[in-house]
Amino acid sequence: MEKIELIAMDMDGTLLTSHQKILPYTKEVLMNLQKQGVSLVLASGRDIESLAFYGKQLEIEKYPQSGYIVLNGLEIYNSQKECLYKGKRLNKDDVYILNALAKKYMFDMVIFFEKCLYILTYGKTGIMENHFIDRDKYGIDDVNKIPDDLYQSVKKLHLFKVQQLWIRFYQLFNWI
């Protein structure tokens, strides 16, 4: 059997429990693998600060072979949180185009910036109530209320729609 050199893992629903925790046994196994020279790469749609919180629990900073893939591949960091790659981000015009679509088709929209996020609830999914507890959040009813200087730090944008989630759920059960 060949030696494992790298393990890349998603966070939500894979490494993390539904309570956003790494199980003790999983943590023990992953830390032992790092000690044996196996690279661990935490991958997610989350930003570096969110992943580094979990990386600290796994002591990733002690292992130069490990690192992070964040924002769905938009940025890649080494174990010391030094950026190795940064892709093109959304700009203000992109956000305005997506906002028009979200409003037209009644999707909730979450715009993630470096230090905060803005939530527009066109689709009334309730997304603001139970999500994104790790940063300042602002519920607004008009994208024009976002300060212009923030557009230099757009990280990502999510669109949510309740009906779409139910359709996907229905499709999954009909395919089984």
pLDDT value, residue 32: 94
Q: 167 and 98, same structural domain?
A: yes
Q: 130 and 116, same structural domain?
A: yes
Q: 156 and 102, same structural domain?
A: yes
The parent domain of residue 154 ranges over 92-174
Over the stretch 126-165, which tens digit does the pLDDT of each residue have? 665 555 556 678 888 899 999 999 998 888 887 776 554 4
> Residues 160-165: contacts with CB within 8 Å, 24+ apart?
160/107, 160/108, 160/109, 160/110, 160/123, 160/125, 160/127, 161/105, 161/106, 161/107, 161/108, 161/123, 161/125, 162/123, 162/124, 162/125
pTM of the model: 0.67
DSSP 82: -
Over the stretch 25-70, which tens digit does the pLDDT of each residue have? 999 999 999 999 999 999 998 889 889 999 999 999 999 999 999 9
Q: How many domains does the chain have?
A: 2
Over the stretch 97-124, which tens digit does the pLDDT of each residue have? 989 988 888 888 888 888 888 988 887 7
